[in-house]
Amino acid sequence: MPDNVIVYQGHEGAYSHLACRHVHPEMEARPCSSFVAAMMEVEQGLAALAMIPLENSTAGRVEEIYRQMPKTKLHIVGEHFEPVNHCLLGVRGSTLAGLKTVGSHPQALAQCHDRIKSLKLEPIAKLDTAGAALEVSERGDPSHCAIASRLAAELYDLDVLQENVQDVVGNTTRFLILSATRRMPVYQAGQDYITSMMFKVRNIPAALYKALGGFATNNVNLLKLESYMAGGTLRESTFHLDAAAHPDQRSMQLALQELEFFGVDIRILGTYPAHPFRHNHELIE
């Protein structure tokens, strides 16, 4: 049934698949060929939720998601931080000394750049990490390996030649959980919330400064502010903002009033509880 399905981009064994297992082990996790396909399945009612990566602590944001969100009507109903343990996977019996090439998603290759260089491997970009592991299994070439998860090694019967090959300790990916249905959690004192939104600003001097001023004067902490050009005109920017607040809090209401005065096309993408990872790593002050 669609209401028990959570979709993700990539092959089985992708880190998105792993995130689905950790957050909603009770749901059927189903792969999709692209981020757009996964979002469309939720919009069309073929799945209840989508697990979509937004940014990585080492390689930065997944820009495609920022460009796709304005085109959908989906709501953010949760976030998840997944620690990344990149593994070097080869066919059974292969060795590190015999490796020549490594395939993976460009983000994973970027996160393991120094290790790849130290092993003198030629990086080859693939559509996703798990797909790269599947290719290693199908090719059966002991000189070719993949960077992917331990789950991918189990699914595709590969040897884990090295674990934790990422360059930075603590490498973590932040995922958004998307739904076609808006879910506004009831505000509870003592619980930290994130409210995500998109907006543009009026074409007047200091418009962005003034639009954000309400958050400062009302003591609302901004956790994230991203900008990107929209519409193909290079004339205006769209902003993605994460605030550490709930819309039922008076301080947030006042901040939003000021944003509405200077901003245009404001869209609240969702309000959801802050993930425990934020507290453990002091991401919310």
Threshold 0.85, pTM exceeds: yes
* Closest listed residue to residue 244, CA positions, set 283, 194, 280, 282: 194
Domains 2-84+172-179 and 87-162 share a fold: yes
Domain ranges for the chain, please list them.
Answer: 2-84+172-179, 87-162, 193-280
* Closest listed residue to residue 164, CA positions, set 121, 125, 108: 108
Walk along the chain (285 residues) and give the pLDDT tens digit of each residue: 688 999 999 899 999 999 999 999 999 999 999 999 999 999 999 999 999 999 888 777 887 888 888 889 999 999 999 998 999 999 999 999 999 999 999 989 998 999 999 999 999 999 889 999 999 999 999 999 999 999 999 999 999 999 999 998 888 999 999 999 999 999 999 999 999 999 998 777 888 899 999 999 999 999 999 987 766 665 677 899 999 999 999 999 999 999 998 888 999 999 999 999 998 765 554
Rg of the chain in Å (alpha carbons): 21
Amino acid at 107: Q
d(CA 32, CA 27): 15
d(CA 109, CA 88): 11
CATH among 1.10.3080.10, 3.40.1710.10, 3.40.50.300, 3.40.190.10 for 87-162: 3.40.190.10
Please give the CATH architecture assigned to the domain spanning 2-84+172-179. 3-Layer(aba) Sandwich (3.40)
Contact call for residues 100 and 122 (beta carbons, < 8 A): yes
> What pLDDT score does 2 carry?
86
CA 116 to each of CA 100, 101, 145, 147, 162: distance values in angstroms, whole numbers, following the listed order: 10, 9, 11, 10, 12
Contacts of 230 (CB under 8 A, 6+ apart): 67, 70, 200, 236, 237, 238
d(CA 175, CA 52): 5
Fold of 193-280: Alpha-Beta Plaits (3.30.70)
- Residue 158 structure tokens: 């590969």
